[in-house]
Amino acid sequence: MSPLPPLPISARLALWYALTLLLLLSAFAVFCYVGFHAAAHRSFDRHLDHELEAVVPLLAVGEGGVDAGALASTAAVATRLDGPNATFVRVLTPDGDVAFASQNVRGRPPLGVALPEGGDALRASREWAGEPLRSLVEPLRAPSGALAGYVEVSGVEWSRHRELRDLGRTLALGVALGVLFALGAGWWLARRALRPVAVLTDAAGRLAADGGRLGGRLPSDFETRDELTDLAETFNGLLARLEASVARERRFTANAAHELLTPLATLRSEAEVALRREREPEAYRETLGRVVEDVAEMTGTVQGLLHLARAESLEKTPDARLDLGALVRQRAGRLRPEAAARGLALDVSAEPDVRLAAEAGPLAEVVDNLVGNAVKYTPPGGRVSVRLGHVDGSARLEVEDTGAGFDEATCERLFDRFFRADTPEVQAEPGSGLGLAIVKAIVEGYSGEVGCASPGPGLGATFWVLLPCLHGSD
């Protein structure tokens, strides 16, 4: 026999909801039933107390016993009736023998005797001729204090028992209907609450069947914001990071192939030309020199691509602390000899206590690229100014030069991979076009911003970086 398949979550939630409500309603029904039962007994006991108060004055209690003559001759209707309104009275001797019984007792089956223990009254419930009977037995004492006998007042409780049975049936029916309603409502609510799960499952299935594409996203715009919305947004964030990672890998592969293809083709062409016929040693040395230059260019391209890949997948250390002012002065100082050799003035102005939650290595590469580019593309006699300070709670690094400059269209593309401005000043200098892309990747990796501005070609340029800095005791 195969095991039963597991129930859906909505069915399990509905069953648990119905079971919980069943327990609560059952407890409430039992509480109501027991409370009503006790209240009915208390009400009937007060009725018996009232009847006892009416009977006792009709009894003559003496040292020789109890005389019920006055009670026997009374015209009380209750002691003559037989039914729910009847009151059954008996006078008992101290030994429990029946000394007197009201008229309505004589025509019924014998009733057993129950005597109280000690001097207190006795209240007892029992059956008499198939009917529920409630009795109150009160000791009677002579003037001397001796026990003269007992008076027993009883009444049939069948009407109250019927009311209790009706109440029990009503409560049971109410519990059953409540549980059935709870089961249906719980099923509907669970299905409604879990509808986003079905939507997410369907969307995830379509993503899985979409040939490995990562551009799709799970829906997160449900009627209300809850844990499933957070789950969908978290998963979408994961997909976005995976998509960005895959895109980086694809760009790296495409860029590497594109940038290495031209030097490799040139290298092969030069080698093939050199091998077509015998040449002088000087021609071979010239060809080998160009091969070395091409290899050096490819090496620089590969190194730049590796730096860019590391920058795009930057791993930050949470407890890293960096004095950016000291780093800027150090890195700019290393470029001062090159600037002097080119006939440039290099000014550095850094405010103290500019601290970041960052590592020195990546930020050193940012400073080297920005200041190095400014020195490279500024003609002799020019000036490069490096400034660092606080701006609206952020650290702002500016590198201004009097160099080549650029127009607005060029500004929009300067941080693209392998882009180099198509001007003689720029093309005359060696470079791979990856430096500013590396700067942008590192700065954005630290939740910063990077930008540039220029009045126009030949009028210099300013590159700036904004990074969140630490405050107080951080």
The CATH number of the domain holding residue 382 is 3.30.565.10
Final residue before a domain boundary, out of 166, 191, 209: 166
**Are residue 294 and residue 322 in the same domain, yes or no?**
no
CATH number at residue 97: 3.30.450
**Are residue 25 and residue 71 in the same domain, yes or no?**
yes
**Are residue 347 and residue 320 in the same domain, yes or no?**
yes
**Are residue 365 and residue 452 in the same domain, yes or no?**
yes
- Cα–Cα separations (whole angstroms), residue 15 to 171, 172, 191: 21, 19, 13
**Are residue 356 and residue 428 in the same domain, yes or no?**
yes
Flag whether 239 is in a domain. Answer: yes
pLDDT at res. 165:
77
Flag whether 385 is in a domain. Answer: yes
Give pLDDT tens digits for 375-396: 988 999 999 999 999 888 889 9
- pTM for the structure as a whole: 0.48
Q: Give the residue numbers spanning the domain of 36.
A: 9-166
pLDDT bucket at 216, cuts 50 / 70 / 90? low
Final residue before a domain boundary, out of 310, 344, 364: 310
Quote the percentage of the chain above a pLDDT of 70.
Answer: 76
Flag whether 378 is in a domain. Answer: yes
Of 67, 71, 45, 76, the C-alpha closest to 58 is 71
**Are residue 47 and residue 151 in the same domain, yes or no?**
yes
Of 387, 373, 343, 355, the C-alpha closest to 434 is 373
Least confident segment among 23-37, 417-431, 453-467: 417-431
Q: Which two tokens stand for residue 301?
A: 């391209």
Give pLDDT tens digits for 335-369: 999 999 999 999 999 888 888 888 888 888 899 98
**Are residue 272 and residue 158 in the same domain, yes or no?**
no
Flag whether 213 is in a domain. Answer: no
Flag whether 371 is in a domain. Answer: yes
Q: Which residue has the tokens 């002012």?
A: 325
The SS3 call for residue 297 is helix
Query: Strand order of the sheet with strand 394-401?
Result: 345-350, 383-391, 394-401, 461-468, 449-453
Contacts of residues 444-449 at CB distance under 8 Å and 24 or more positions apart, as own/partner, are 445/311, 445/312, 445/314, 445/316, 445/362, 446/314, 446/316, 446/356, 446/357, 446/358, 446/362, 446/363, 448/394
Q: Which residue has the tokens 């049936």?
A: 169
d(CA 467, CA 463): 14
**Are residue 293 and residue 331 in the same domain, yes or no?**
no
For residue 26, the tally of other CB atoms under 10 A from its CB is 15
**Are residue 303 and residue 369 in the same domain, yes or no?**
no
